[in-house]
Structure 1
Amino acid sequence: MKKLLEISLGVVTSVGGFLEVGSMATAAQAGATFGFHLIWAVVLGTFCIIFLVEMAGRFAAVSQHTIADGIRERFG
């Protein structure tokens, strides 16, 4: 049950960071202006976010540090 809670909190956090009010307003304005001509940017952004979340999860599982801690350790 604890693992399910951890996973669900991670999903909520990732969605909350990806779908914030500013990005939704910007997406609505872009959609009203350009229609579906910019759908490639949404698809590309979604794949990049999925890759980042997967990489951060693997990094955290192996190193027992968050991605921010790893960047801080490596680059100061």
Structure 2
Amino acid sequence: MQDVVWHPPVRTRSEAVASTFEALDFLDHHWPNIKGPRFVKARYACLAALDGRESADVARARFEDAVAEAQLN
């Protein structure tokens, strides 16, 4: 598992998410009930980054997109 710290962290209304693992945890346990297509892409990108199949930068970008889609920023 390859967890990479993000600088700067991605800010949501409730917290700062500072790594791929934290983003996956936020998506799985703190996300509102409405899950759009960007949520799915972000979750997949985070899992892929942790497995080494995707870069942490891509996972961060997908997570930022999902946060914007859900209006959590």
Same fold, TM exceeding 0.5?
no
TM-score by length of 2: 0.32
- Structure with greater helix share of residues: 1
Greater gyration radius = 1
- Structure with greater strand share of residues: 2
